[in-house]
Amino acid sequence: MNDNAKKPELLCPASSLPVLKTAIRYGADAVYVGGDMYSLRAKAENFSDEELKDGIAFAHGKGKKVYVTVNVIPQDGEIEGISSYLSELSKIKPDALLIADPGVFSMARELCPDIDIHISTQANNTNYRTFLFWHSLGAKRVVTARELSLKEIKDIREHIPSTLEIESFVHGSMCISYSGRCLLSDYFTGRGANMGECTHPCRWRYYVSEETRPGEYLPVFENERGTYIFNSKDLCMIEHIPSLIESGVDSFKIEGRMKTALYVASTARAYRRAIDDLFESPEKYEANKSSYMEAVSECTYRQYTTGFYFHKPVHEDQIYDSNTYEQKYIYLGSVIDTDERGFIHLTQKNKFSEGDEIEIMKPDGTNVVAKVRGIYNNKNERVSSAPHPKEELFIDLGITAQEYDVLRMKANTGGD
């Protein structure tokens, strides 16, 4: 790696204000979020205007940034609403807007002249002429299409101004379609991916048959569950950070605006450590590669792949023949605060019981193991277990925790 290499930005997703604060606390340099509308993640919790203001204030107080996605591909009926939304964002002043559509871009330039614009991967940015086109219109950053190799990204970097930033996905779910341009969801369910309502039909089971041979299925990868020929593995580039930097990538983007705080904390913490280790000492980074992979494997994921970065993948490289996830840990919740008794206050996400052994994830990479000594509901009644999601609880662990610490438990180790 070049000795003068610039440390890349670590850009993490956030589905809500608490997750935004978790991402920053666990190592993100910047966070990308969706507002109430027009962000291609209609099922995410997303941010109200007030939450967005709070999130930006929190991030700026830590020297971090917040980007807001406005990356829908709209039809005429949405134009007036987008105009009003951009006008509101011009007052809230996030650090940048992520935009895919040329019409929305022109509106943002007019209505939000003081806010940077980043071009979303939804715009299918695959060559340097496209990057130059957006740069000529005033874009500060362009997100590469997931289908590009590192060699192709490096070629783009050599043909564009150094002031135009390159952002690339380094971790998370992959799409079978060209950078999200998929019609399967709309075709099957009437819920369009380009309006943020994707039902992820690429994860469903399919068979392939020839028209004149009904009931005869072509020999594709199949097990007792069927075949999942559209179901991609997850991207993971944590073992290849020097190659990404050498290709000219300025911002490392983690996918997942519909993921939990456990996922965000796990991936942010792992990539933060890997990047910092590399810039401290390439030898340290190389020596710790296996621990980085172990860390990102602690959250729910499909099998990992390097996607298109090193070559155009064959079936075995990108497609996984099962839709099952790997899950080593269960997300229990994030710490809200600690009461006068020293009990941890949280909104519970998954079931756990008194006597269970759990872990408190810390931003510095450590995990504090503790046993659940008691569980109390919001009426201060002691209960033996917490089976209902979103229940507000107070937990006696015998130790304290910090706000936004993430609590998790090893899968298949919980009580009844």
Same domain membership, residue 390 and residue 258: no
Percent of the chain topping pLDDT 70? 86
pLDDT tens-digit profile of 6-17? Answer: 999 999 999 999
Which has the minimum average pLDDT: 164-178, 281-295, 401-415? Answer: 401-415
187 or 367: which leads in pLDDT: 367
Same domain membership, residue 265 and residue 144: yes
pLDDT tens-digit profile of 228-279? Answer: 566 678 899 999 999 999 999 999 999 988 788 999 999 999 999 999 999 9
Would you say residue 359 lies in a domain? Answer: yes
Same domain membership, residue 146 and residue 94: yes
Domain boundary pick from 264, 288, 318:
318
SS3 of residue 291 by DSSP: helix
Q: Which phi and psi (to 5°) does residue 63 adopt?
A: 75, 25
Helix axes 128-137, 150-159, angle to 10 degrees: 40
Would you say residue 146 lies in a domain? Answer: yes
Would you say residue 77 lies in a domain? Answer: yes
Structure tokens belonging to residue 252: 């490392």
How confident is the model at residue 345, as a pLDDT? 96
How confident is the model at residue 62, as a pLDDT? 97
Same domain membership, residue 311 and residue 285: yes
Same domain membership, residue 135 and residue 268: yes
Same domain membership, residue 47 and residue 121: yes
How confident is the model at residue 389, as a pLDDT? 84
Name the region of 46 (left: φ>0; alpha: ψ -120 to 50; beta: rest). left
Parent domain of 44: 9-177+232-318
How confident is the model at residue 24, as a pLDDT? 98
- pLDDT at 141 exceeding the cut of 90: yes
Same domain membership, residue 312 and residue 375: no
Cβ atoms of 134 and 155 closer than 8 Å: no
315 or 59: which leads in pLDDT: 59
Same domain membership, residue 312 and residue 358: no
How confident is the model at residue 44, as a pLDDT? 45
How confident is the model at residue 327, as a pLDDT? 82
- The average pLDDT across 129-157 equals 97
How confident is the model at residue 414, as a pLDDT? 46
Which of the 8 DSSP states describes residue 321? Answer: S
* Dist CA 113 CA 152 (whole Å): 32
- pLDDT at 51 exceeding the cut of 70: yes
How confident is the model at residue 283, as a pLDDT? 97
* H or E segment to which residue 288 belongs: none
Domain boundary pick from 318, 344, 368:
318
- pLDDT at 200 exceeding the cut of 90: no
* Dist CA 411 CA 60 (whole Å): 36
pLDDT band of 43, cuts 50, 70, 90: very low
Would you say residue 184 lies in a domain? Answer: no
Domain boundary pick from 318, 346, 381:
318
* Dist CA 293 CA 291 (whole Å): 5
210 or 46: which leads in pLDDT: 210
How confident is the model at residue 34, as a pLDDT? 86
Assign residue 356 the CATH number of its domain: 2.40.30.10
Which of the 8 DSSP states describes residue 319? Answer: B
- The average pLDDT across 22-47 equals 77
137 or 302: which leads in pLDDT: 137
Same domain membership, residue 394 and residue 301: no
- The average pLDDT across 146-168 equals 97
pLDDT band of 210, cuts 50, 70, 90: confident
User: Which residues partner with 337 through β-bridges?
Assistant: 345
34 or 227: which leads in pLDDT: 34
CA angle 179-221-411, nearest 5°? 75
Tokens 């590469």 — which residue? Answer: 144
How confident is the model at residue 193, as a pLDDT? 66
Assign residue 165 the CATH number of its domain: 3.20.20.70
How confident is the model at residue 387, as a pLDDT? 87
- The average pLDDT across 305-319 equals 72
* Dist CA 55 CA 58 (whole Å): 5
Would you say residue 212 lies in a domain? Answer: no
Would you say residue 223 lies in a domain? Answer: no
- pLDDT at 221 exceeding the cut of 60: no
Would you say residue 403 lies in a domain? Answer: yes
Same domain membership, residue 257 and residue 111: yes
Would you say residue 210 lies in a domain? Answer: no
When divided into structural domains, the chain yields a total of 2
Same domain membership, residue 251 and residue 167: yes
Average pLDDT over all residues of the chain:
87
Same domain membership, residue 379 and residue 285: no
- The average pLDDT across 299-324 equals 70
